[in-house]
Amino acid sequence: MKEPINVLLIEDNPGDVRLVETVLNESQEPKINLFVVDNLARGLKYIAAESIQVVLLDLNLPDSQGIQTFQKTHKFAMKLPIVVMSIISDKELIYQAMKEGAHDYVIKGQIQHDGIIRAIRYAIWSYHKREE
């Protein structure tokens, strides 16, 4: 069996956290270890202290909003793939984050098992391809 993937979810909405937890807990392959924090400051501290392989990042948090959320995270954690999460009406924001280095995105309200697992796997794969 493959090693589990350590995923950090930076999300302040309890409903969205529960949805992501439910979807990822259903995953048999790959096994996901999910860690959750509710603001960017805690997320950055967690990244510094733990062995994380991918970040799921809400772009609108209590202590950071919009593209600045991605920019701060990316600058701090350049060695980690980041999957941005936002609502469908923020598509321009998502595309801007992708242009600036996000590895993939997930639309809140459309989170499904195959989509989020695909985003996590693709983010890790594309990160390693960029490093080659």
Per residue of the chain (132 residues), give pLDDT as tens.
478 899 999 999 999 999 899 888 887 777 899 999 999 999 999 999 989 999 999 999 999 999 999 999 999 998 899 999 988 777 899 999 999 999 999 988 777 667 888 899 889 888 776 665
Fold for 5-109, please state it. Answer: Rossmann fold (3.40.50)
Domain boundaries, the chain: 5-109
pTM over 0.85: yes
Decide the pairing of beta strands 5-10 and 54-58: parallel
What's the rounded Cα separation, in Å, for the pair 54 and 120? 7
Q: Among 75, 25, 85, which residue's Cα sits nearest to residue 48?
A: 75
